[in-house]
Amino acid sequence: MGRFLARRIIICVLTVAGASFVIFASLYLAPGDPISFLTAGRPSSPELRAALAAQYHLDDPFLHRYLQWITDAFQGNFGESIARRRPVLDLIFANLPTTILLVIMTLILVVVVGVLFGGIAAFRRGPIDDGIMAAMTVSLATPAFVSSIFLISVFAVGLGWFPVFGPGTDIGDRIHHLVLPAVALTIAWWPVIGETARASMREEHEREHVETARSRGLTPQHIVRRHVFRNAAIPISTVIGLSFAGLVAGTAIVESAFQLNGLGSLLITSVTGRDFPVAQAVALLLVTVFAVTNVVVDLLYAALDPRVQTSWSRK
Amino acid sequence: MSLLSIKDLKVSLPVDKERRVVLRGIDLELEAGESVAIVGESGSGKSMTARAIARLLPRRAVVSGSILFDGRQVLDLKDAALRRFQAAEMAMIFQDPRVHLNPVRTIGDFLVEGLVNTRGSSKKAAEHKVIELLDEVGIPDGTRRLRQYPHELSGGLLQRVMIAAALASEPRLLLADEPSTALDVSTQSDVMAIIDDLCKSRGMALMFITHDLELAAAICDRTAVMYAGQIVEVQGSTDLVEHPRHPYSAGLLGAKPNVSRRVQRLNAIPGRPRAAFEVQNGCAFSDRCRFASEECIASEPTLKHEPGGAVRCFRADDLILNATEGAVL
């Protein structure tokens, strides 16, 4: 098991390293010249251009620049934002809490709603199942910005239950501010968990070992809890892991709609503004979250399924 | 009064939009402590019969007739009463223990689950009891086994675990659905011997489902042969193997390769097995039977009781069937 884990971690590090190269390279391949952004398009003297190029290492060979960047990044130095003249790391730390809180709130909602309705749909065949399936389809097909606008107009503007925009100040206020964004994201993501929960519980319920349990006179509640749900938790947890990674990257639209200062909105403003140190750092952070989540999902898998542990220790 | 009395049991299952008949009227008696084998090809309805008794048929199955267990109508049992019957009176062993045990729960969880949840015994008492039972089925280091997972045990060991689990509830009837078919040949006879011994020593009635007539005869007092959702013959096991009364039983016996004799070609019953829902008028076996007369094709024979058994064949009294040669007139 130790060796398997070590290998997963090495793969994780290689993934992040490879992604970092692509991230670094793609911003330089993108159209537009960083220097003309730095000078805001005003006519500039060759001396100024040379000074800016030197400050941002724009004239060094590509590989050298990449190595410089990745070494600095490793030490927590992502350079300075071009647009805001502040260290990139400060910007990220300023924006991180909103995103973390939003992702946690959303994940809780998505898992509760998804597993609950997926489970109901799995066992209540007929109109209830059909209704939940239809709701999942509609929900999945609704873009987050549409549900955001709907939620704002009904619950924030219309009923006034929640604030219209902004991240809030203290923790209670922050949570209050993030309810509607979390609901908007939940509308987009609960069908992913719900469909998996429905399919896996239904499949597990048809399994032979459930027949054994029924033949022993165990109550349906016991069978659902200890055999159906316990076993379906394995595929469900995988999808929860993927959803977490997807949510971290996918908060951008909702953050923009609710004008929250999260990582997603930071990525969007930095990309559109050619603030390349910020864009690179945020992209690298997201890739790292993805890769680490994958390792965590693997560990979760082993914790839930004894067969995986055995195959790991054999390798 | 018999422990188990099945009368005119009919079952149909929904397939797509239509209903398919799988059992066309089963009649069978089983005394306390007696063992009966149900033999037939795949699809003859032998597993369905056991599942009907254990009330494990699919939800939308339509069942008619009667199954009396110790005088109680099993088909009318509901909810808690049904669960009490399943938990205390009967136990079932399935064909493939690898899929009939939950792969993510330990052997210990599986073994004590019934005792703890349906009998209200403490976990400790239950563990103590199942370790003893494991020893009885030939698994000595029970304490260690309780902590293992199903994938860490061989098929033969798992089937012993299944047997121990079945014994834990001290049932009066054991339903064994091809318990040795999915196992290695070397462990098959061990598992069958354990089932045989334990049923006899505990006075448990056994319904043994198999496609192997000779194995059936070795284990069970009586053998019932099924074809297309009906019992075609019941006899004492030895009598059935030596003097089959139904051409299908004789064909099954003849189809078994004989190791002591080389033959040009293995015997087989011509044609393919009829499924219960395909049967039209006449005897279900008539299209494959060498002895079919016009009567056999025109109308359906009933299960005629005779001393020592019953047979469903118009021509039973005309024929002298020989097991080793297949069938001779």
CA–CA separation, A180 and A236 (whole Å)? 25
- In a domain? residue A83: no
- In a domain? residue A80: no
- In a domain? residue A222: yes
The reported pLDDT for the residue numbered A260 is 85
The reported pLDDT for the residue numbered A37 is 66
- In a domain? residue A36: yes
The last residue of a domain, from among A74, A100, A130: A74
First to last CA, chain A: 8
**Which residues lie below 8 Å from residue A120, measured CB to CB, with a gap of 6+?**
A128, A132
* Edge-first strand listing for the sheet containing B4-15: B18-30, B4-15, B62-69, B72-73
The reported pLDDT for the residue numbered B197 is 92
Contacts with A125 from chain B: Cβ below 8 Å: none
A-B C-beta contacts closer than 8 Å:
79
The reported pLDDT for the residue numbered A197 is 96
CA–CA separation, A51 and A49 (whole Å)? 5
Tokens of A29: 């391949």
Contacts with B96 from chain A: Cβ below 8 Å: 208
Query: Is the domain of A70 the same as that of A93?
Result: no
Query: Is the domain of A285 the same as that of A201?
Result: yes
Give residue-wise pLDDT tens across range A60-80.
778 888 888 888 888 888 877
Between β-strands B173-177 and B62-69, what pairing exists: parallel, antiparallel or unpaired? unpaired
Query: Is the CB of residue B97 less than 8 Å away from at least one CB of chain A?
Result: no
Q: Contact A209/B100, CB-based, under 8 Å?
A: yes
Query: Would you call A96 helix, strand, or coil by DSSP?
Result: helix
Structural domain count, chain A = 2
Query: Is the domain of A42 the same as that of A131?
Result: no
For chain B, what is the HEC assignment?
A: CCCEEEEEEEEEEEECCEEEEEEEEEEEEECCCCEEEEECCCCCCHHHHHHHHCCCCCCCCEEEEEEEECCEEHHHCCHHHHHHHHHHCEEEECCCHHHHCCCCCCHHHHHHHHHHHHCCCCHHHHHHHHHHHHHHCCCCCHHHHHCCCHHHCCHHHHHHHHHHHHHHCCCCEEEEECCCCCCCHHHHHHHHHHHHHHHHHHCCEEEEEECCHHHHHHHCCEEEEEECCEEEEEEEHHHHHHCCCCHHHHHHHHHCCCCCCCCCCCCCCCCCCCCHHHCCCCCCCHHHCCCCCHHHHHCCCCCEEECCEEECCCCCCCCCCCCCCCCCC
The last residue of a domain, from among A52, A74, A96: A74
CA–CA separation, B60 and B11 (whole Å)? 10
Query: Is the domain of A169 the same as that of A249?
Result: yes
For chain B, positions 19-38, list CB contacts with chain A under 8 A. Answer: none
- In a domain? residue A287: yes
Candidates B14, B27, B73, B21; CA nearest to B45 is B21
Query: Is the domain of A45 the same as that of A92?
Result: no
Containing A211, the helix (H) or strand (E) segment is helix A208-215
Query: Is the domain of A30 the same as that of A123?
Result: no
Query: Would you call A87 helix, strand, or coil by DSSP?
Result: strand
Query: Is the domain of A240 the same as that of A268?
Result: yes
Q: What is the pLDDT along chain A (315 residues), one digit of tens a residue?
A: 677 788 888 999 999 999 988 988 876 776 666 666 666 666 677 787 777 777 777 777 788 888 888 888 888 888 777 777 888 888 888 888 889 999 999 999 999 999 999 999 999 988 999 999 999 999 999 888 888 888 888 888 888 887 777 667 777 888 888 889 999 999 999 999 999 999 999 999 999 999 999 999 999 999 999 999 999 999 999 999 989 988 887 888 888 888 888 888 888 888 887 788 888 888 888 889 889 998 898 888 888 888 887 776 665
Q: Contact B101/A209, CB-based, under 8 Å?
A: yes
Contacts with A231 from chain B: Cβ below 8 Å: 102-104
CA distance B103 to chain A (A): 8
Query: Is the CB of residue B165 less than 8 Å away from at least one CB of chain A?
Result: yes
pLDDT along chain B (329 residues), means of 10: 92 89 93 94 90 92 94 93 94 93 94 90 92 92 93 92 93 93 85 91 94 90 93 92 89 74 66 77 86 87 88 84 54
Q: Which residue type is seen at B254? A: G
The reported pLDDT for the residue numbered A51 is 79
CA distance B293 to chain A (A): 43
CA–CA separation, B57 and A229 (whole Å)? 22
Tokens of A295: 């390792």
Query: Is the domain of A97 the same as that of A164?
Result: yes
Query: Is the CB of residue B190 less than 8 Å away from at least one CB of chain A?
Result: no
- Structural domain of residue A14, as residue ranges? 2-74
Q: Contact A213/B91, CB-based, under 8 Å?
A: no
Query: Would you call A293 helix, strand, or coil by DSSP?
Result: helix
- In a domain? residue A224: yes
Instruction: Using an 8 Å CB-CB cutoff, list residues of chain A that contact chain B.
Output: 207-209, 211-219, 222, 226-227, 230-231, 234, 304-307, 310
Interface ipTM:
0.87
* Edge-first strand listing for the sheet containing B35-39: B90-93, B173-177, B205-210, B35-39, B222-227, B230-236, B309-311, B304-306
Query: Is the domain of A182 the same as that of A241?
Result: yes
Q: Which residue type is seen at B55? A: R
Q: The domain that contains A150 carries what CATH number?
A: 1.10.3720.10
List the beta strands (DSSP E) in chain A: none
Query: Is the domain of A119 the same as that of A170?
Result: yes
Nearest CA in chain A to B116: A218
Give residue-wise pLDDT tens across range A50-59.
777 777 777 7
- A212, A221, A309: which to substitute to probe chain B, counting the most B Cβ within 10 Å? A212
Between β-strands B62-69 and B4-15, what pairing exists: parallel, antiparallel or unpaired? antiparallel
The reported pLDDT for the residue numbered A134 is 94
The reported pLDDT for the residue numbered B264 is 63
The reported pLDDT for the residue numbered B328 is 45
Counting every residue, how long is chain B?
329
Tokens of B141: 């280091």
The phi and psi torsions of B62 (rounded to 5 degrees) equal -105, 120
Query: Is the CB of residue B149 less than 8 Å away from at least one CB of chain A?
Result: yes
CA–CA separation, B41 and B213 (whole Å)? 11
Query: Is the domain of A150 the same as that of A298?
Result: yes
The reported pLDDT for the residue numbered B103 is 93
The last residue of a domain, from among A16, A48, A74: A74
Query: Is the domain of A302 the same as that of A195?
Result: yes
Candidates B202, B172, B16; CA nearest to B88 is B172
Contacts with B114 from chain A: Cβ below 8 Å: 216-218
**Which residues lie below 8 Å from residue B40, measured CB to CB, with a gap of 6+?**
B46, B211, B225, B226, B227
